[in-house]
Amino acid sequence: MSREILLGDEAVGLGAIHSGMSGVYAYPGTPSTEIFEFVEQKTKKAGNVHAFWSTNEKVAYEEALGMSWAGKRALVCMKHVGLNVAADAFMNSAVTGTNGGLVLAVADDPGMHSSQNEQDSRYFAQFALIPCFEPKNQQECYDMMFEAFDMSEELALPVMIRLVTRIAHSRAGVQTKSAREQNVLNPSRDIKKWTLLPSNARVQYDHLTEKQPELLRRSEDSPHNELVLTGRKGIITCGLAENYLRENISNGDYSVLSIRQYPVPAEKIRRLVDHVDELLILEDGYPLVESMIRGLFGLAGVKVMGRMTGEVPRTGELDPDIVRESLGLDPLPSAHNPAEDLANRPPALCKGCPHTDSFRALNEALNLFDNAQVFSDIGCYTLAALPPLEAIHSCVAMGASIGMAAGAAHAGYTPAVAAIGDSTFSHGGITPLLSAVQQGVNLNVLVLDNDTVGMTGTQRSMSTGTTLDQIILGAGIEKEHMRIISPTPKNHDSNVEILREELAHDGPSVIVARRTCLEAIKRA
Amino acid sequence: MEKNIILAGVGGQGILSIAFVIDNAALDAGYEFKQAEVHGMAQRGGAVQSNLRYADHEIYSDLIPKGAADMVLSVEPLEVMRYWHFLKPDGWVVSSVTPYVNIPDYPETEQVLNQLATFPHCILVDGGQIAKAAGNLRAQNMVAVGAASSQLDFTEDQLLKYVEVLFKRKGDKIVEVNQRAFRYGRAAGLFFRGLVDAGMEIPDALRLSQKIAPETYDPALAADWVGYAGSDGSALASVMASEETIACDQIPTRT
């Protein structure tokens, strides 16, 4: 009942707390990280919400599903590509259904500010046949959490709330409500529902498909899907795209449907389509609604415009200027033209970062080879791809460095080198290392153990120090081929020597470069 | 009333601290506001910006449209150039002139400042010099927000209150230093504008401001300084030649 300044992420977190959530689960990933962090910090004192980082998004999702099974409300948060990791549990949780409310908050990153793609999580909601909310502002981030938990419990389905970077990382004043009670422990007794043997799974899948008309009815009736019919030109906005439209036009010349709850409200779209001669579709993400309306063969009698026809760029983040142009409006006058050839200020590793010393040593060790390429992974150390280090040559998916190095080795590539951080290793690097050891692949894994998740703001790492060493040995790496180095300028020569020794070894080896992240030291 | 501000600087310069002070003052004043910021990969020592909007009516977009910004408020001069095309034709450039050189191809500072000086609505202050005088070089962000404060829709006390809230957990001394940086910045900005409004060329106004000891800025003396300098600024040469900074009220007599 007060007005608080909250990021969209924080509004989701506070909405979940006030909705009576008992557990929050997440792996850090921009732009979703602050949801978990906010809940963790806010509930630390009371200690009434379970908040501990998970090893990866799949684990987070499964933990949240377990809490739902036990009858309590759970929030699971991740970035869009994290949902790929969690997809197995996610897709099947729609089939099992839920017990306590289960809400999945996914933060997409149109424009790829901090990501390797801009996939649109609304497709995942559609794919799994579950409801999805898409808030247009921070207030809705907060309010929709109550609705999402209620809907999850009413329909016994997980519910998605889809954010984009501009909502996740933008602050506004949010009016808050009083908190409601958490659920009591009430484990599900419905064994068949949770045991997806084919015979049970078919029954459950039928339940899921039978719920679809009710999901659609809720979308049609939802106040979040607002239809205003006036002129013969129509616009559909999804989520925050409505803001960019309102920023540019205030008059009622356009008939507008604002969609913020899915499945797509077909009847409302039908009424809009029947009313207009042309239709512009504004979505911050993939052209999901646009492609549905267009179908394979287009829409007879109505000109449909959007990302697929070029009125809106096919890729990238929406903004008020792009929407302005798509409306055919002239740009606003400006005080100055954009500066030409302005010196860029790219992100870089911090001064004194241990990764810099690790990669300097690796670069020198590898100069015995002709143009050796290094498979790498996702974290601060991905910045080593840029000058001056230019030490790594791939970044694809969490843990992919090790699997790709193994595949390259299978093909005869040598030296097959993978560079991966300690937290990324725990997230997705253990299983490919185990595979490589079992096959006796000739590869070298450099684990950059800086004791934290650096890029997202120094969260807790699951496998660092002795835990990391035990995992590596447990995966079957021979003791004499697990080397530990301290990446400092002083140790440069000896580190190069150790790296060269392991590069010369025919078989799997792991070199752990261990020195704590400077930011983590600062924050401790 | 609607105010759209692009906050600019380099990762680590405390752009979000500026946003905190203005956000809270806006909330306190009952305004609507939105403030989009940059986290993650985009933050690592690179160019950082935040779009801050407040108004006495509903604000739709979290992002400021091109041509709709009332102000670019920057802790670093080069960073102004990254966003100046967002400014309205009569928009304000408020910037520290202290360069943050962490790239090999940083242009000549002189060139950058000359470009900023082409904006008739500009406030240029020496953030590094002023923050140092306030007691901590890291307080350049508070110097910048102080310099901009006369163009914002809050009293000095409304803003200073949130400088205190922001730094409270770091202790009284840090609060004092940052509030002092804010006050010096505010006085520096007003003095600079006083010089320009009384007819001094912008580059001269900046050079003279940099000669004044930051703890002595007095906007009320700006017109007297312009009177001393003369219409062509020729009398400033001797002041500029002095090695030491001089107190604002030590206006030399013309010989």
pLDDT in tens, A11-47: 999 999 999 999 999 999 999 999 999 999 999 999 9
Which residues of B fall within a CB distance of 8 Å from A319?
61, 63, 65
Element (H, E) at B129: helix B127-134
* Rounded mean pLDDT, A276-282: 98
Contact A172 B35 (CB under 8 A): yes
Q: Tell me, yes or no, if B224 comes closer than 8 A to chain A by beta carbon.
A: no
Element (H, E) at A214: helix A212-221
Burial class (CB in 10 A: 0-12, 13-18, 19+), A66: middle
Which residues of B fall within a CB distance of 8 Å from A139?
none
Residue B126 C-alpha, separation from nearest chain A C-alpha, in angstroms: 21
Contact B36 A321 (CB under 8 A): no
pLDDT of amino acid B44: 67
- Going A264 to A266 to A267 to A268, the CA torsion angle's sign is positive
Element (H, E) at A65: helix A57-69
Burial class (CB in 10 A: 0-12, 13-18, 19+), A340: exposed
CA distance B141 to A233: 47
Contact B85 A335 (CB under 8 A): yes
pLDDT(A335) > 70: yes
Q: Tell me, yes or no, if B240 comes closer than 8 A to chain A by beta carbon.
A: no
Q: From the CB of residue A291, how many other CB atoms can be counted at a distance below 10 Å?
A: 16
Residue A305 C-alpha, separation from nearest chain B C-alpha, in angstroms: 22
Residues 6 or more apart whose Cβ sits within 8 Å of residue A353 = A380, A517, A518
Which chain A residue has the Cα nearest residue B33?
A172
Q: Do domains A3-210 and A226-326 have the same CATH topology?
A: yes
The two three-digit tokens of residue A306, written as one number: 């959007």
Q: List the beta bridge partners of residue A159.
A: A103
Which residues of B fall within a CB distance of 8 Å from A246?
60-61
pLDDT of amino acid B231: 67
CATH numbers and ranges of domains, chain B: 2-200 (3.40.920.10)
The pLDDT tens digits for A396-413 are: 999 999 999 999 999 999
Strands A132-133 and A261-262, sheet pairing: antiparallel
The pLDDT tens digits for A132-155 are: 999 999 999 999 999 999 999 999
Domain locations in chain A?
3-210, 226-326, 354-523
* DSSP secondary structure letters along A99-160: SS-EEEEEEE-TT-SSSS----THHHHHHHT--EE--SSHHHHHHHHHHHHHHHHHHTS-EE
Residues 6 or more apart whose Cβ sits within 8 Å of residue A511 = A444, A445, A446, A447, A482, A483, A484, A485, A498, A499, A502
CA distance A517 to A214: 51
Contact A343 B43 (CB under 8 A): no
User: Could you tell me if A60 and A158 are in contact, meaning their C-beta atoms sit under 8 angstroms apart?
Assistant: no
* ipTM of the complex model: 0.94
Which residues of A fall within a CB distance of 8 Å from B119?
335-336
- The dihedrals phi and psi of A73, each to the nearest 5 degrees, come to -85, 140
Q: Compare CB distances from B67 to A137, A169, A333 and report the shortest one's residue.
A: A333
Which residues of B fall within a CB distance of 8 Å from A172?
32-35, 59
The two three-digit tokens of residue A464, written as one number: 């660092």
Q: Which of B91, B72, B74 is nearest to B5 (CA)?
A: B72
The pLDDT tens digits for A149-202 are: 999 999 999 999 999 999 999 999 999 999 999 999 999 999 999 999 999 999
Mutate to test the interface with A, among B39, B88, B138 (most CBs of A within 10 A): B39
pLDDT, greater one: B44 or A289: A289
Question: A–B: how many Cβ contacts below 8 A?
Answer: 152
Strand order in the sheet with A233-238: A226-228, A254-259, A233-238, A278-282, A303-305
Q: Compare CB distances from A172 to B34, B39, B46 and report the shortest one's residue.
A: B34
Contact B41 A319 (CB under 8 A): no
- The dihedrals phi and psi of A174, each to the nearest 5 degrees, come to -125, 130
Contact B27 A33 (CB under 8 A): no
pLDDT of amino acid A250: 79
pTM, entire model = 0.96
Q: Which of A46, A114, A126 is nearest to A455 (CA)?
A: A114
User: Could you tell me if A248 and A327 are in contact, meaning their C-beta atoms sit under 8 angstroms apart?
Assistant: yes
User: Could you tell me if B21 and B6 are in contact, meaning their C-beta atoms sit under 8 angstroms apart?
Assistant: no
Residue B59 C-alpha, separation from nearest chain A C-alpha, in angstroms: 8
Which residues of A fall within a CB distance of 8 Å from B85?
334-339
Residues 6 or more apart whose Cβ sits within 8 Å of residue A57 = A26, A27, A29, A76, A78, A82, A83, A85, A86
Residue B67 C-alpha, separation from nearest chain A C-alpha, in angstroms: 4
Residue A173 C-alpha, separation from nearest chain B C-alpha, in angstroms: 7
CA distance A49 to A67: 11
Q: Which amino acid is at A216?
A: L
Element (H, E) at A242: helix A241-248
User: The domain A226-326: what is its CATH number?
Assistant: 3.40.50.920
Residue B238 C-alpha, separation from nearest chain A C-alpha, in angstroms: 35
pLDDT(A1) > 60: no
The two three-digit tokens of residue A347, written as one number: 């992100």
Which three-class secondary structure state does DSSP give residue A48? coil
Which residues of A fall within a CB distance of 8 Å from B10?
345
The pLDDT tens digits for A236-262 are: 999 999 999 999 997 678 999 999 999
CA distance B163 to B180: 10
Of A1-5, A363-367, A486-490, B233-237, the poorest mean pLDDT is in B233-237
Residue ranges of chain B with per-residue pLDDT less than 70: 40-44, 231, 233, 254-255
pLDDT of amino acid B43: 63
Contact A348 B44 (CB under 8 A): yes
The pLDDT tens digits for B91-111 are: 999 999 999 998 999 999 999
How much of chain A, in percent, has pLDDT values that exceed 70? Answer: 100
- Going B195 to B200 to B206 to B208, the CA torsion angle's sign is negative
The correct answer on CATH 3.30.470.20 for the domain covering A3-210 is no
Q: Compare CB distances from B107 to A246, A343, A345 and report the shortest one's residue.
A: A343
The two three-digit tokens of residue A506, written as one number: 């025919």
The two three-digit tokens of residue B219, written as one number: 């906007």
Which residues of B fall within a CB distance of 8 Å from A384?
none
Which residues of A fall within a CB distance of 8 Å from B60?
242-244, 246-247
Give one word for B31, left, alpha or beta, with left for phi > 0 and alpha for psi -120 to 50: beta
pLDDT of amino acid A155: 98
Q: Tell me, yes or no, if B71 comes closer than 8 A to chain A by beta carbon.
A: no
Q: Which of A460, A365, A456 is nearest to A53 (CA)?
A: A460
Contact B85 A336 (CB under 8 A): yes
Contact A166 B24 (CB under 8 A): no
Q: Compare CB distances from A166 to B42, B47, B62 and report the shortest one's residue.
A: B62
Q: Compare CB distances from A5 to B24, B66, B102 and report the shortest one's residue.
A: B24
Residues 6 or more apart whose Cβ sits within 8 Å of residue A13 = A24, A34, A35, A36, A38, A39, A42, A75
Residues 6 or more apart whose Cβ sits within 8 Å of residue A50 = A22, A23, A24, A67
The pLDDT tens digits for A417-433 are: 999 999 999 999 999 99
Which residues of A fall within a CB distance of 8 Å from B63?
166, 244, 319-320
Residue A1 C-alpha, separation from nearest chain B C-alpha, in angstroms: 15
Confidence of residue A347 (pLDDT cuts 50, 70, 90): confident
Q: Tell me, yes or no, if B66 comes closer than 8 A to chain A by beta carbon.
A: yes
Q: Compare CB distances from B67 to A138, A319, A331 and report the shortest one's residue.
A: A331
Residues 6 or more apart whose Cβ sits within 8 Å of residue A467 = none
Q: Which CATH superfamily is domain A354-523 in?
A: Thiamin diphosphate (ThDP)-binding fold, Pyr/PP domains (3.40.50.970)
Which chain B residue has the Cα nearest residue A2?
B27
Confidence of residue A109 (pLDDT cuts 50, 70, 90): very high
Mutate to test the interface with B, among A33, A345, A382, A455 (most CBs of B within 10 A): A345
Which residues of A fall within a CB distance of 8 Å from B82?
339, 342
pLDDT of amino acid B50: 96
* Rounded mean pLDDT, A86-90: 98
- Going A362 to A506 to A477 to A63, the CA torsion angle's sign is positive
Q: Compare CB distances from A342 to B11, B24, B82 and report the shortest one's residue.
A: B82
- Going A158 to A161 to A162 to A164, the CA torsion angle's sign is negative
Residue B89 C-alpha, separation from nearest chain A C-alpha, in angstroms: 4
pLDDT of amino acid B246: 92
Q: Tell me, yes or no, if B165 comes closer than 8 A to chain A by beta carbon.
A: no
Q: Which amino acid is at A375?
A: F
| Angle, alpha carbons B158-B159-B164 (nearest 5°) | 105
* Rounded mean pLDDT, A126-135: 98
Which residues of B fall within a CB distance of 8 Å from A333?
67, 88-89
Q: Tell me, yes or no, if B213 comes closer than 8 A to chain A by beta carbon.
A: no
Q: Tell me, yes or no, if B120 comes closer than 8 A to chain A by beta carbon.
A: no
Contact B41 A240 (CB under 8 A): no
